[in-house]
Structure 1
Amino acid sequence: MLPISFIESMQGVKGFQKEAFLAAHVHDIPVTSIRFNPFKKKLLKQLPLAHQLDEKVPWTSDAWYLKERPSFTFDPFLHGGAYYVQEASSMFIEQILQQAIPQPEQEIVLDISAAPGGKTTLLSGYFKNGLVVANEVIKSRAAILTENVIKWGADNIIVTNNDPVHFHRLPAFFDVVLLDAPCSGSGLFRKDAGAIAGWSLENVHTCSLRQQRIIRDTMSVLKHDGLFIYSTCSYSTAEDEAILDWMVQEYAFEPLRIQLQPNWGIVEVRTTQQEAWGYRFFPDQVKGEGFFVAAFRKKSAGIQPVFRLENNLTQPPGKELALLSEHIQLPENYRVFMQENEFRAIQNHYWQPLQQLAQQLYIKKAGIELGSLKGKDFVPSHELALSLLPLTQMNNVEVDLETALHYLRKQVPAIQGAKGWCTISYCGLRLGWIKVLPNRINNYYPAEWRILKD
């Protein structure tokens, strides 16, 4: 049963059809959708979930509805980052990007409230030559975000763990800002009973104030003519249309109208005060959950940032770099730096932005963690195995499904491999490391990530 006060608050909202909306929450089963990893898909010997693919999500490039929800836990492709399970409505972000920035280059993008990582990985795939800063203020959620970014494998994502207000130290730094704002969560009613129990008009008001605070704290970071995308999983106009009006009134924003296809079922709205465009997703009209999104161009002149060029990221000594090169050969366009005694690598054109970010923010993850040196021995990181970096100097063992699942449970796989460090691969997708010793094999899959279900 949905809250009566919620139903009453929706009367008069464009597109709201009470009986159909209620029926969708009683009778309809929420759909499941996945988005393929464009970096890893080309490496695969087999298409993940091929027998489960139903139809494409129409507003994004390579995402699919599934015929039914499988047991993702037992799919090595998920653990290796071949795809991301993401709600279809929220993938509309890509359609906005296609229309607003049809030819992406080396944009610097901020996902200000990024966990668990669905939109971050979407941004990473769209801005393949750009840099995505994925921020999450809550420490536990930042850990989940980091795990999903590691599985994605791309090195164009920097994870930060900061309050949004800290970003004011980076004026006019970003070309794109995405705020998927914390909200009252009415768009999740079909999937989360807790969202129904926790919904109230008071919480809607509290969330709207929080949303304004985050926007106010991050407004200065966007460049002139930069793109700002605002989204919620709420149907409430106080968190949607009212926020759009407030943004246009308070700041020099130009609302963007996004072209829709009639068969998508998305409801286009225009606010009464500032005539800003917004897009609402009702589950009785689209194949997806509740969602609201709007896009703007910033038209005020930003303050040009002035950064010190001092290097506060540790550089490894030449002797250690020489030892490292004996174990792993990086492409020429990469450079190595240190973070907490771990070697990390990042592409050269991301280096200066990373330095500037590191001077102002807490960096939880940047580039790809390569591993560490124990004397003259190199201990590779799990992150390296899941990355896109070529590991031609390392041995690899291709395994079948049963063996892959044994490995992901952190059991000792029954395989034959050359002595030393080896990557384990399933259908061309690297899953992690083993070390083959004379009398045994050690499984180095992270204990906290292992499959616990039988």
Structure 2
Amino acid sequence: MQLPDSLLSSLEEESGFNKKKFLEAHEKPAPVSIRINPVKKISPTDGATSVPWTDLGFYLPERPVFTLDPLFHAGTYYVQEASSMFLEAFFRQIMEEEPLRVLDLCAAPGGKSTLLSSLLSDDSLLVSNEVIRPRSGVLADNLTKWGRIHSFVTNNDPRDFQRLPGFFDIVVVDAPCSGSGLFRKDAAAITEWSEENVALCSQRQQRILADVWPTLREGGVLIYSTCSYSSEENEQVLDWLSSSFACTSIPFAGSYEGIVEVRTEQENYGYRFWPDRVEGEGFFIAAFQKTEDQEDYAFRNTSGGKNKNRRTETAAFTPWVDDLSLYAWVEKNGDYFLINPEHRPEFEAISQNLYLRKAGIRLGKLAGPDLIPDHELALSTVLSSDVPRLEVSREDALRFLKREDFAYETSQKGWHLVSYQGHGLGWVKVLPNRLNNYLPKDWRILMDIREN
């Protein structure tokens, strides 16, 4: 792998850089790692080893065909680069008592959002944002697989969050960058790298941080990360941030072999991951606590928490949800969404000020007195255990995911959850002479299932 000479020259003075070992690491394949969903927990495969800085991450001995694993589609794990999982260790350190409001600003495709979701209780609120509309759809799908009710997805420019001043306790900015830390995973990105692009990324990162800063409350914490090696996108951005706003750099309290702690010119703390020092890709992370005064968002009076006197909806939803009394629901354009009742003020604030793409768990639509269940409900953790299930083999699970006919045995008509090893994949409706597959078309597997 031929790396840009200008990149290598720029790294000569960076702490922890060893050119010979760095180049040798880039001749090796990137490690394969996954992170398990703690609410849909599975056992890692034979030969898997733990990622040091997370309880849920594992290195795999080889890369399987994830597309042909039904458990991947059920949201039991997420394929994530190991270095970026260090967010968990830093987040645990700065977490205060819950509930928290957390914003993952540049969240697609969803790796860090699903990680944050795993760390937060249902009382906390996770807002995951992506400015590019098609990517926000991928983000919403991955959070749907994760199945938690506390997740909202927005599709907004960072500056739009200024409409919610002092709203969030923690803001995570995994900023768009030049991507040099991922060259082993995407060799084509080498041809796109340039010093000019690094400079442009640095300017963009500063704009993003300036735009989102007002939405962080006084005393709140901003976590900044990139997958770039360049100091212009890392240390220099930290010094720009501390020079532009009232904040304090937060050191990481622990230590892990191979992770390099750096101090910037202004004595800010940052943490570098080199692929020859850790079993992972290039990564950089830092955290700051906001110390300046911040006017907090003024919530308007809302209609209260739980729904009252909604007999039709209550009767329709009760069979589908474990203990419906614990939740509230909202309706938008005929779709019903189940949310934590304590999140109703946040739901109204976000829906009034931002484009809200996903809120909680989409239950579905009403057809007379009956619910037509949505795919989100099938993958959620709120689904009632009394809902009829069709437990299928791996082969039949893949046929279902390709929207093909598969074998089933049941005399019970109506809606059934197709499940594999106890984990939901989607809905079918059993009719007298056939079975209708309700897997959304854009979730369909296109790969030939005989390839594995």
Smaller-chain TM-score range? over 0.9
Partner of 1:184 in structure 2? 178
Q: Secondary structure at the match of 1:98?
A: helix
Tell me, yes or no, if the aligned pair for 2:154 and 2:354 is still in contact at 8 Å: yes
Superposition pairs for residues 286-305 of structure 1, below 5 Å?
286-305=278-297
- Tell me the CA shift for residue 326 of structure 1: 6.0
Counterpart-to-counterpart distance in 1, 2:208 and 2:294: 18
Once residues 47 and 435 of structure 2 are traced to their aligned partners in structure 1, the CA distance between those partners, rounded to angstroms, is 35
Deviations 1:137-160 (A, max 9, x none): 000110110110100100111000
1:382 is matched with which residue: 357, 366, 375?
A: 375
* 1-structure distance, mates of 2:247, 2:187: 36
**Does the C-alpha gap of structure 1 residues 347 and 141 become closer, same or farther in structure 2, counting only changes over 3 Å?**
same
Letter in 1 for 2:375: H
Q: CA offset at residue 262 of structure 1?
A: 4.7
Partner in structure 2 of residue 32 of structure 1: 32
- The partner residue of 2:424 within 426, 430, 433 is 430
- Paired with 1:327 and 1:51, the residues of 2 have a C-alpha distance of 39
Q: Is the 8 A contact 1:312 1:355 kept in 2?
A: no
Deviation of the 1:402 alpha carbon: 1.5
Alpha-carbon separation, structure 1, partners of 2:314 and 2:340: 19
Q: Distance in 2 between matches of 1:187 and 1:312?
A: 47
- Worse-matched range after superposition: 200-209 or 345-354: 345-354
> Aligned pair 1:359/2:352, yes or no?
yes
Corresponding letter in the other structure for 2:275: P
The equivalent residue for 1:340 is 333
Shift of the alpha carbon at 1:398? Answer: 1.3
**Equivalent of residue 342 in structure 2, options 337, 349, 367:** 349
- Once structures 1 and 2 are overlaid, which stretch shifts more, 66-75 or 324-333? 324-333
What is the identity, as a one-letter code, of the residue corresponding to 2:388? Answer: N
- Whether the 8 Å CA contact 1:412–1:442 is kept in 2: the answer is no
Q: Distance in 1 between matches of 2:277 and 2:50?
A: 17
Match of 2:212 among 209, 218, 225: 218
| SS of equivalent residue, structure 1 residue 439 | coil
Q: Residue 316 of structure 1 contacts residue 337 of structure 1 at CA under 8 Å; is this kept in 2?
A: no
* Aligned positions, number: 443
SS in 1 for 2:347: helix
Amino acid at match of 2:268: A
- RMSD over aligned CA atoms reads 1.8
Partner of 2:397: 404
Q: Is the 8 A contact 2:299 2:345 kept in 1?
A: no
Q: Which residue of 2 aligns with 1:284?
A: 276
Opposite residue 14 of structure 1, the aligned amino acid is S
- CA shift, 1:316, in A, is 10
Which structure 2 residues correspond to residues 141-290 of structure 1 after superposition, within 5 A? 141-263=135-257, 265-272=258-265, 274-290=266-282
Moved more, 318-327 or 390-399: 318-327
Unaligned residue ranges in structure 1 (runs of 5+): 42-46
Q: CA deviation at 1:340?
A: 2.3
**Counterpart for residue 19 of structure 2:** 18
Do 1:124 and 1:157's aligned partners in 2 also have CA atoms closer than 8 Å?
Answer: yes
Deviations 1:219-260 (A, max 9, x none): 011111111100000000000000000111111111011134
Q: 1:7 to 1:450 in 2, by over 3 A?
A: same
Report how far residue 332 of structure 1 moved: 1.4
Which amino acid is the alignment partner of residue 75 of structure 1? D
What is the match of residue 50 of structure 1?
45
State the one-letter code of the partner of 2:63. Answer: R
Matching residue of 2:74: 80
> Per the alignment, do residues 301 and 436 of structure 1 end up closer, same or farther by CA in structure 2, a change over 3 Å counting?
same
Give the aligned partner of residue 450 of structure 1: 444
Could you say what secondary structure the match of 1:292 adopts? strand
Q: Secondary structure at the match of 2:162?
A: helix
In the alignment, the residues of structure 1 paired with residue 250 and residue 362 of structure 2 have an alpha-carbon distance, to the nearest angstrom, of: 39
C-alpha distance in structure 2 between counterparts of 1:192 and 1:343, whole Å: 40
Structure 2 counterpart of 1:289, one-letter code: E
Structure 2, unpaired ranges of 5+? none
Residue range with higher mean Cα deviation, 280-289 or 384-393: 384-393
How far does residue 311 in structure 1 lie from its aligned partner after superposition? 6.2
Q: Which amino acid aligns with 2:345?
A: Q
